[in-house]
Amino acid sequence: MTITEVSKKYDLSQDTLRYYERIGLIPGVNRNKSGIRDYTNEDCKWVEFAKCMRSAGLAIEVLIEYLALFEQGDETIAARKELLIEQRNRLAARIEEMQSTLKRLDGKIQTYDQSVLIREKGLQWPKE
């Protein structure tokens, strides 16, 4: 697959794909005889994984480390698991925080519903 195809498939710019490769967030992609990238299925999986994890807010640094560990082979399985657990826990915490903020926003919006109603009816704004 060419970079254009991968770019379209995962909705990531070509620049971002080259950037991810350069910094080691995805593995090095093979080139044909004229030096042009040819993404394998395996490469694509990494692209997709990177995109997914980045969208969830995992830091690039951490994902680089994960790939580096992966490329060192089976000796690093325990370390990789550790890393994933750590990130999983961070993510879960962030989700919880965001959920409580979501609730707060819902509450605020409800208050606005009320206030609009009150204004429409020409009523007094309730105290406090």
Binding site for DNA (CB under 7 A): 2-4, 13-16, 18-19, 22, 31, 33-37, 54, 59-61
Smallest distance from DNA to CB 87, Å: 12
* C-beta contacts of 60-64 below 8 A and 24+ residues apart: 60/23, 60/25, 62/87, 63/25, 64/23, 64/24, 64/25
- From the list a second copy, DNA, none, which binds 2 (C-beta under 5 to 8 Å, kind-based)? DNA
Smallest distance from a second copy to CB 77, Å: 6
Smallest distance from DNA to CB 50, Å: 8
- Cα separation, 30 vs 21, in Å, equals 11
